[in-house]
Chains A and B, each alone.
Chain A
């Protein structure tokens, strides 16, 4: 089968168009892959037709066996150099980091708010309210629910922000940004190597900063326990553990694989 025998606008044509977009910024390697893909698909479709498939079915089968265009294209390294490629990668990094940071901040606040009730009851049960004005020990509160609610109003979710901050909204926005990026990278040119930063450098910088933030928050939480200023302990514990977890996951995903070739995020 020659390229001319391809169905106009058929599965192979559409696949090659998609791959052309995805290979933007990959230079000679990308052009070579596109040529090889075209020849491969032509040969595979011809083989399918020789087995009795109609042209459309043969092309569909050839494309299916070749694999998702994004999965194939992301294995071709982008050519270094052009400012445009650097800006694209920077945009991807900014998108991913913004999504992760918002997710962390929003989830930390929302989880802290959810945990502040049980946390307050634990403090009451263990008589560890310390100097809280409403709850001096030994503690036998006449209106325990009021005290719990009052304490929750004082829970500092994250430094500098009150508990009327729309944490769920921020967390939801962060998750939406991360999920949207993952989906778009699968189905659009955002999955192309020219949009894909090396995992190693920005990933490790982000992971180290996030991990250190988490460790600092955990230290502050432990310090708070000893100083009996528990109003920020739960917030620090939640935010610190989330930050350390996110940092660890990013470090793990930033490993260099396949003989030193960084893979796509």
Chain B
């Protein structure tokens, strides 16, 4: 499934729900929670996280306490607000599309 354009919302949601986590955990959570539905090159998540950080929606720091040096990401307050706004926007899109194609029943439009 092509998720271009929606990656920001997915990443913000994972970070909001999972709390401070490193990139690998974000990707694993994304894969597990979507039941593997998203065919996403995993490497593209890191530049996306950097972009969200530049936008002030995510903050990060190096975690040197474990055996492996990892960058840990967490949502900022602006990120939390952006997530809520994007979620609302997404629900609007879903409702609009469903109104056109009909509600989903047994895995396919009615």
Does residue B71 face the partner (Cβ distance < 8 Å to A)? Answer: yes
Select from chain B the residue with minimum beta-carbon distance to A258. B51
In the complex, chain A residues whose CB is within 8 Å of the CB of B67: 2
Determine how close the nearest CB of chain A comes to the CB of B2; give it in whole angstroms: 14
- Count of chain A residues near B, Cβ 8 A: 24
Q: Is the CB of B42 within 8 A of A67?
A: yes
Which chain B residues in 46-65 approach chain A with CB under 8 Å? 46-48, 50-51, 55
A39, CB-defined interface residue at 8 Å: yes
The winner among B41, B46, B47, B48 for most chain A CB atoms within 10 A is B47
Select the stretch in A70-78, A125-133, A135-143, A219-227 that faces chain B. A70-78
Q: Give the Cβ gap from B60 to chain A, nearest Cβ, in Å.
A: 9
Is B50's CB under 8 angstroms from A32's CB?
Answer: yes
The reply to whether B50 and A29 contact each other, CB–CB distance below 8 Å, is yes
Distance in angstroms from A113 CB to nearest chain B CB is 42
Stretch at the interface among A40-48, A114-122, A179-187, A234-242: A40-48
Give A67 to B43 CA distance when docked, in angstroms: 6
Chain A, residues 51-86, CB within 8 Å of chain B (1/0): the string is 000000000000001111101100110000000000
A/B pair count, beta carbons within 8 Å: 60
Q: Are B47 and A67 closer than 8 Å at their CB atoms?
A: no
Q: In the complex, what's the smallest C-beta–C-beta distance from A186 to chain B, in angstroms?
A: 14
B69 interface neighbour in A29, A33, A39, A44, Cβ under 8 Å: A39
Q: A76-B50, A259-B55 are in contact. Are A37 and B43 (CB under 8 A)?
A: yes
Q: Is the interface of B mostly helix, strand, loop or mixed?
A: helix
- Residue B23 contacts which of A40, A68, A69, A72 (CB distance < 8 angstroms)? A40
> Are B71 and A36 neighbours in the complex by a CB distance under 8 Å?
yes
Are A75 and B41 CB-contacts (below 8 A) given A32-B71, A39-B68, A40-B24? Answer: no
Q: Is the CB of A65 within 8 A of B41?
A: yes
**Contact of A188 with B by CB under 8 A:** no
**A261 interface contact, C-beta 8 A:** yes
CA distance A72 to B55 in the complex (A): 19
B44 interface hit (Cβ, 8 Å): yes
Decide yes or no: A72 and B51 within 8 Å by CB, A35-B69, A42-B68, A44-B24 being known contacts: no
Could you mark each residue 2-40 of chain B with 1 if its beta carbon is under 8 Å from any beta carbon of chain A, else 0? 000000000000000000000110010000000000000
The answer, among B27, B44, B48, B51, for a CB contact under 8 Å with A71, is B44
Contact among B41, B44, B46 with A36 in the assembled complex (CB-CB below 8 Å): B46
- The answer for the CA separation of A163 and B48 in the assembled complex, in Å, is 52
Minimum CB distance partner of B8 in chain A: A259
Beta-carbon nearest neighbor of A28 in chain B:
B50
Q: Chain B residue with minimal CB distance to A67?
A: B41
By a CB distance below 8 angstroms, the chain B residues around A36 are 23, 46, 70-71
Q: Tell me how far the C-beta of A97 lies from the nearest C-beta in chain B, rounded to whole angstroms.
A: 27
A43 / chain B contacts, CB cutoff of 8 Å: 24, 68
Q: Return chain B residues, CB-CB under 8 Å to A68.
A: 41
Asked whether A33 and B68 contact (CB < 8 A) given A40-B24, A68-B41, A72-B41, the answer is no
A-B residue pairs in contact (CB < 8 Å), sample of 7: A39-B24, A40-B46, A44-B42, A66-B43, A72-B44, A259-B55, A261-B51
Q: A35-B71, A40-B27, A72-B41 are in contact. List 4 more A-B contacts (CB 8 A).
A: A35-B69, A68-B41, A69-B43, A72-B43
User: Would you list the 6 A-B pairs with minimal beta carbon distance, nearest first?
Assistant: A67-B41, A75-B47, A72-B43, A66-B43, A67-B43, A36-B46
A residues apposed to B, CB below 8 Å: 2, 29, 32-33, 35-37, 39-40, 42-44, 65-69, 71-72, 75-76, 258-259, 261
